A and B are shown apart, each in its own frame.
Chain A
Amino acid sequence: MSVLKRLLSDRAASLGAAIILGLVLVAILAPWIAPYPGDVTAFHLADRLQPPSAEHIFGTDRMGSDVFSRLLFGARITISIAVIAVGVSVAIGVPIGLLAGYYGGFPGGFLMRTSDIFLAVPQIVLAIAIAQTLGPSVENVILALSLTYWPFWARLVYAETNALKKQTFVEAALALGASDLRVMVLHILPNTASAIIVRTSIGMGATILTAAALGFLGLGAPAPTPEWGRTISEAREFLPEAWWYAAAPGLAIFLVVMGFNLLGDGLRDILDPKLRKGSR
């Protein structure tokens, strides 16, 4: 059975995939499906803090802008942060893990101890420190997350590589004269792909949550960017009366993080034979 078929047969994983697909579509199509696309920057002060209605399905915010429209545009920021931050983390972490695992010894130990230093501090605390030092902006949030998340991939690939390099197919490739680079890239890396994909999927959810936390703390995009964490931060002053203001982005974060976690779990079940449901 193909991976896709197995994914579709797993209800939870397909729900996760559907949520993420929905998020991506919403992000791409935001200018066309948002009822008030201009409300990302436009204000209507006379309509501020209106409850949900047919006109504004998620109500309006403190500047009278449509919460739903801003939510859709916020999805773009969320996806950008998650994809770039996780992408950079993978790009940094995987080569480091691969090199450290393959060569071992002092270089490997040095790289892993470096990653240990980053792992010794809670990720959110480190991200806050970096974002605070660099100043509040989406770019700095991405940088902060990238700098703090790469060790997860480094350690994962290190462990996999360490085990794989002793396998017969690696020894065979080396015996046939393959270079270290060729062995690492063409023989070991593909065999770590499943683990990387699963970690990346789950990591996306964690990254979105941390990015939202940074936005909530005022370290993310400045006003009036419709970033979800920031919107919740703005809205808390109006709770519980204007509940819709915080509830809408809160629900969006919840759904997206759940989507990535469900997909990650499903992929792990599918890609890791040891954990496959049928074999439990």
Chain B
Amino acid sequence: MTSTKTFGNVDRRSILKMIPAAALGTMAFPAMGMAAGGAGGRYVHANNSAYDTLDPHTVNDVARVASRLNFYDGLYRWVDNPPKMIPWLATSHEVSEDGLTWTFQLRDDVTFHDGTNMTAEDVVYSLERMLELKQGAGSLFIPMIDPGQTKAVDKYVVAFTLKEPSAIFGSLVPSILVVNSKLVKANEVNGDHGQAFLIDNVAGTGSFTLSRYDPARGFVGKRYVEHFAGWGDNYLDEIEFRTVLETNTRIQGLMSGDYNGLDGYLAPDQVERLRSSGKVQVFEQESMRVFHIAMHNGRAPLDDKNFRMAMVHAFDYDGYINEIMQGTVARNPTILPGNLWGAPDVEGYSFDLEKAKSYLDAYKAEHGDEIRTLKIGTLAGFSETEQVASLMQNALAQLGIKVDIESAPWPVISTMMQSPDTMPDMVPYWKSTYYVDPNNWVGELYGSRYAPTRNISAYHVDYVDERLEKALVITDQDERAKLYEEATRRIYDDAAGIWIYNTKWYGPYTKNVKNVRFCPVGNGQDMRWSYVED
């Protein structure tokens, strides 16, 4: 066995050094709004999306991250900003010389909410379940590990044997959320792997236990006193994540104190409104959440590079960033967040309708003057996507291209995006952080191995695939960075998408909320660190 492998951004030795400090939650955590205060308290979060399921293995999005983070634990955990992994259910790991076998030592003092001791068998069951369901984070593991290749070596030792060496498996380990295998198996119905049960029940080891759940209203969790990481002096006794779809209601509710926190990606008008009220605190953090317009590269006329070049020059980047977003976000010229390693140093495309027209003329010279109506799908309730679509529609109208805008809720749009047949021509949306590796952005959106469920762009270029594939199996970060730079630069040259900005997180909380610990992976919704001051 070797110990020279890196683990995401963190060297394994660094991880091992963290273990004693991580024990019982005694680490001095860098966090926002830190102050002395009393123990206990109740925190109410108004969420802009419904929690239609609590199953940790069937969804993997930002909108429903709170149930996964607070009811379940992974082998390791992402914390802080810049994000780093700390040991969690596992205390250490080793990678075999051939890079195929990853062996994790688990803690022996972890209990599920029903008091059952967590063992390696639970980890095996959890990963097999993810592979079987092929949903949520499971789709990330399918390309790298076959069913039956996760073994319980010992009661507290689990080994994963990969199909090929993987540079990102380590970064994905926090996504292996462990469920209570005995409890789930006992509630399986007709081989459904407990799906019906886990929609509205929790079988985890997480920091909070479920005390109420209503898909229309959200969930309430109570502090799990016996959680292995301990609690220290300050904590929350109860958390409630309430579904409040109306932005104005969330804002008013926060200002009046009905809620303690909201998501940190409000429009700048709303952030300014909250700030000027003097009743809330707004934490500001660099994040990794790229707003872009995904284009269907596989369908005419967007399968032509000249046409795509016309598209990338038809968006008013400055107007959008400086006027609508009021300069609160940073222009991001490619799909990789500018603050992440591997991002190439290129200048973003500019809004230039003359240039767009010349590319369009080149397209017409080859394909004729007839251009069909394009369809942009927008996310209902996310006005930024509608405004982007309107700007695009307006600019393309000046080029003589008609655009239809169709709005639908995120679950509907995301389902449409899963298939090249139903994917709209363009969809503006955010690519958030699920693990901190360039593959999270450029690999998943433009690599052929992820088509069609994650690579919704229908972009397939051998030059890019070769680099993305190679970057997945080597562990030298400098070399990987070079490969991602080359691949991303080619995708940029091919104008395979319209990349607009990398967002900042503006976390709004009532002034009595302390110790908010933001991480781009969890968007500040990992509540075990926070508390409400009396």
Contacts and interface: CB of A to CB of B under 8 A. Distances in A.
Do A and B come from the same complex? yes
Interface of A: 41-43, 45-46, 48-49, 62-64, 135-136, 218, 222-224, 234, 236-239, 241
B394 A41 contact: yes
B165 to A, nearest CB: 46
Contacts of B267: 237
B496 to A, nearest CB: 25
A224 B393 contact: yes
Given A45-B316, A218-B380, A241-B273, A223 B386 contact: yes
Given A45-B316, A62-B324, A237-B267, A224 B390 contact: yes
Contacts of B389: 223
Given A42-B394, A63-B391, A239-B248, 17 more contacts: A43-B391, A43-B394, A45-B323, A45-B324, A46-B323, A62-B324, A63-B387, A136-B406, A218-B381, A223-B390, A223-B405, A224-B405, A234-B383, A236-B246, A236-B247, A237-B270, A241-B269
Contact of A135 (B270, B387, B406): B406
A222 B324 contact: no
- In terms of DSSP, what is the predominant structure of the interface of chain B? helix
A241 to B, nearest CB: 6
Among all A-B residue pairs, the 5 with the closest Cβ atoms: A45-B323, A222-B405, A45-B319, A224-B390, A223-B386
8 contacts: A41-B397, A45-B319, A62-B324, A136-B408, A218-B381, A223-B378, A234-B386, A241-B269
A250 to B, nearest CB: 14
B394 A222 contact: no
Given A136-B406, A222-B404, A48 B270 contact: no
B424 to A, nearest CB: 12
Contacts of A42: 394
Q: Report the interface size class on chain B.
A: 20 to 34
Interface in B214-268: 246-248, 267
B328 interface: no
B407 interface: yes
B248 A222 contact: no
Nearest to A135: B406
B450 interface: no
Contacts of B320: 45
A237 B378 contact: no
Interface string B6-29: 000000000000000000000000
Nearest to B404: A222
Contact of B407 (A48, A62, A63, A218): A218
Contacts of B323: 45-46, 48, 64
A137 to B, nearest CB: 8
Identify which of B316, B380, B387 gathers the most chain A CB atoms within 10 Å of its CB.
B387
Given A236-B246, A239-B248, A222 B273 contact: no
Contacts of B397: 41
Contacts of A234: 383, 386
Contacts of A238: 269
A124 to B, nearest CB: 18
Contacts of B386: 223, 234
A235 B269 CA distance: 12
B351 to A, nearest CB: 11
A43 B324 CA distance: 11
Contacts of A236: 246-248
Given A49-B269, A222-B405, A237-B248, A62 B394 contact: no
A36 to B, nearest CB: 14
A49 B390 CA distance: 16
Nearest to A48: B323
B253 to A, nearest CB: 14
Contacts of B408: 136
Nearest to B247: A237
Interface in B402-430: 404-408
A218 B413 CA distance: 14
Nearest to A240: B248
Contacts of A62: 324, 383, 387
B48 to A, nearest CB: 11
Contacts of B324: 45, 48, 62
Contacts of B246: 236
Identify which of A46, A49, A218, A237 gathers the most chain B CB atoms within 10 Å of its CB.
A237
Nearest to B320: A45
A259 to B, nearest CB: 29
A144 B102 CA distance: 58
A199 to B, nearest CB: 34
Contacts of B269: 49, 237-238, 241
A239 B393 CA distance: 26
